[in-house]
Chain A
Amino acid sequence: MPVALLKYGLGDDFPFEDHADLPGPTALRDHYDVVIIGGGGHGVATAYYLAKYHGITNVAVLEKAYLGGGNTARNTAVIRSNYLTPEGVAFYSASVKLYEQLSNEFDFNIMYSQRGQLTLAHTDATVRAFRQRAEVNKHFGGRTELIDRQAIAELVPCLNLDPAELPVLAGLWHRDGATARHDAVAWGYARGATQRGVELHQLTEVTDIASDSGRVTGVVTNRGTVHCGCVVQAVAGHSAPLAKKAGIDLPLVAYPLQAMVTLPVKPFLNPLVSSSALHCYVQQTSRGEIVIGGGSDPYPLYQSRASLPLKESLIASAVDMFPFLSEMRLLRQWAGITDMTTDYSPIMGLSPLENYYLDAGWGTWGFKATPICGQTMAQLVASGGQVPELIQPFALDRFDRFQQVNEMGATAASH
């Protein structure tokens, strides 16, 4: 054993504490200008942009468990902007652009890897939808094109082009598609925010929300009551039950979404491959693991347990696409709770309470939007409620106006 290690083992001064990425826990103060409920990617990103670009640092991020331990840790880290509606594409493209330079922004490596994402079409109807998505994407500066079977075979030689009874007809090749280390995104934002004075309080659960004559006055937590100037809620799966504490109903239904990962192998799969008909997507992480994700559970549940039937169907689809996967061993599987809207777009912006801002309804597509959510929610908070143009289409009252932003087709494989 090196002598230095023994010295630190016996002494009190652990050398790395001074250089820790995050400060240690502190007492909860009585008042903050901004309280952000939810210490996942969206919450800490909002705090980061508030502190860095708007000079608002009297901010507390309240997290009931630990930093980035909810859906930030459970997603499959797909970053893409090949959506269908102009509103959706403009929004997610802005997010991809922020992701591209996020490691520089943080001075912290998020292992961003722009390898392209390939979605497979197995029916004529899907080919037509892909053509539309490619054109909408090009219009907004994205790099998306329709490619044929030969080009797909060259791009992913190990892919089975005739899975089950669903031959691949064409593919939507999205060059901007990427992946990144999801934990690093949360940690990068949290580090940048706390360095600028934001307080991150982990193991702090909001149990009630106090309001008076249409305004939020504070939040009650398991560590005491905190008064605040305004509240941002960014909690993913439990969005609707939390908003209920503030007396706000949200048009959400919570479904579990399951995913799994194999043991690591040598790199063989560069792009992220997704099938619209098999409801399955497969990608290889930078560590070599194969991540397999798919559709949501068939009925709502507030529980992140895994179930055998969904695992069976997911593996069956993955093996259809890449037959040799049947030889591989699963390393782990997990589930997250996704708060789904009926139009597969988020709910962002104002709520019926004047100073209570919503970042909810992120269903199965929240990770890819983390930077742009942080940026636009920070603008919303800093301006005292002026909704940025980019998120205006995602207002809660669109449901009352029947003006939904339908991204169901572009989210079919739930990622």
Chain B
Amino acid sequence: MKIMHCPLNGPRNISEFTYGGQVHTMPDPKTCDDPSWARYVFYEDNDIGIVREWWQHTPSSYWFIAERHNGSDDILRTYDPGELFTDRVDFQTPGGES
């Protein structure tokens, strides 16, 4: 079994993890137009090389980021998303409070 190194739980079987898509910057849903939202939702980079991806360790529901080569399947680095996302984002519903 292929092993992935979870930043929280250490080395585990790859079958314990769930792939969560590439790491993209989300456009502001309130201001962006339909095509840019479609781009964010449907499109990935599709370059063959090292990609930055969301992964979840399923049993512990812990989300982290992995840098993986999508041609060779080598996992180069895994780390806590806190490394990339330092600010807390609060979402507001229309007319509601955060």
Chain A: residues with CB nearer than 8 A to chain B?
A: 240-241, 244, 249-254, 298-303, 305, 307-309, 342, 399-402
- Of B24-32, B44-52, B78-86, the one contacting chain A is B44-52
- CB pairs A–B below 8 angstroms (5 shown): A244-B46, A251-B43, A300-B19, A301-B70, A342-B41
Verify B38–A400 contact, CB threshold 8 A: yes
Q: Contact at B47–A241, with CB atoms within 8 Å?
A: yes
Q: Find out whether the CB atom of B48 lies under 8 angstroms from the CB atom of A302.
A: yes
The 9 closest A-B pairs by CB, nearest first: A299-B19, A240-B46, A251-B42, A399-B42, A302-B71, A400-B38, A400-B35, A302-B48, A251-B43
A299 to B19, CA, bound (A): 6
A-side contacts of B47, CB under 8 Å = 241, 244
> Contact at A399–B73, with CB atoms within 8 Å?
no
B1 proximal to A (CB < 8 A): yes
Whether the pair A252, B34 counts as a contact (CB closer than 8 A) is no
Number of interface residues of B (CB under 8 A): 21
Binding site for A on B (CB under 8 A): 1-2, 14-15, 18-19, 34-35, 38, 41-44, 46-48, 53, 70-73
A298 touches B19 (CB 8 A): yes
A352 → chain B, closest Cβ, in Å? 12
Question: Is A309 a contact of B34 with CB atoms below 8 Å?
Answer: no
Distance A240 CA – B70 CA, assembled complex (angstroms): 14
Whether B70 and A300, one on each chain, are in contact in the complex, defined by CB atoms closer than 8 angstroms, is: yes
Which residues of B sit under 8 angstroms from A299, Cβ to Cβ? Answer: 19, 53
Please, which residues of chain B bring their CB within 8 A of the CB of A250? 43, 46
Instruction: Report the separation of the CA atoms of residues A268 and B20 in the bound assembly, to the nearest whole angstrom.
Output: 42
Cβ of B17 to closest chain A Cβ, rounded Å: 8
Contact, CB under 8 Å: A402 / B38: yes
Known contacts A241-B47, A399-B38; 19 further A-B pairs (Cβ under 8 A): A240-B46, A241-B46, A244-B47, A249-B46, A250-B43, A251-B43, A252-B46, A254-B46, A298-B19, A300-B19, A300-B44, A301-B73, A303-B71, A303-B72, A303-B73, A305-B73, A309-B15, A342-B42, A400-B35
Contact with A308, one of B1, B46, B48 (Cβ below 8 angstroms): B1
**Residues from chain A with Cβ under 8 Å of B70 in the complex:** 254, 300-302
Residue of A nearest to B72 (CB): A303
Q: Kindly state the separation between the CA atoms of A309 and B17 in the bound complex, as whole angstroms.
A: 13
Quote the shortest CB–CB distance from B89 to chain A (angstroms).
Answer: 24
Q: How far is the CA of A302 from the CA of B70 in the complex (A)?
A: 6
CA distance in complex: A342, B48 (Å): 20
Measured between beta carbons, the chain B residues less than 8 angstroms from A309 are: 1-2, 14-15
Evaluate contact between B35 and A253: CB separation under 8 angstroms. Answer: no
- Assembled-state Cα–Cα distance A254/B49 (Å): 13
Q: What is the minimal beta-carbon distance from A256 to any residue of chain B, in angstroms?
A: 10
* A302 neighbours in B (Cβ, 8 Å): 48, 70-71
Distance between Cα atoms of A64 and B63 in the complex (Å): 40
**Chain B residues near A253 (CB-CB < 8 A):** 44, 46
In the complex, A253 Cα to B34 Cα: how many Å?
Answer: 21
A149 to B70, CA, bound (A): 44
Closest-by-CB residue of B relative to A299 is B19
Query: Which partner residue on chain A sits nearest B49 by CB separation?
Result: A302
Which residues does chain B contribute within 8 Å of A249, judged by CB atoms? 43, 46
B44 proximity list for chain A (CB < 8 A): 251-253, 300
Chain A residues with CB under 8 Å of B48's CB are 241, 302
Cα–Cα, bound, A254→B70 (Å): 9
Give the distance to chain B from A272, nearest Cβ to Cβ, in Å.
29
Residue of B nearest to A309 (CB): B15
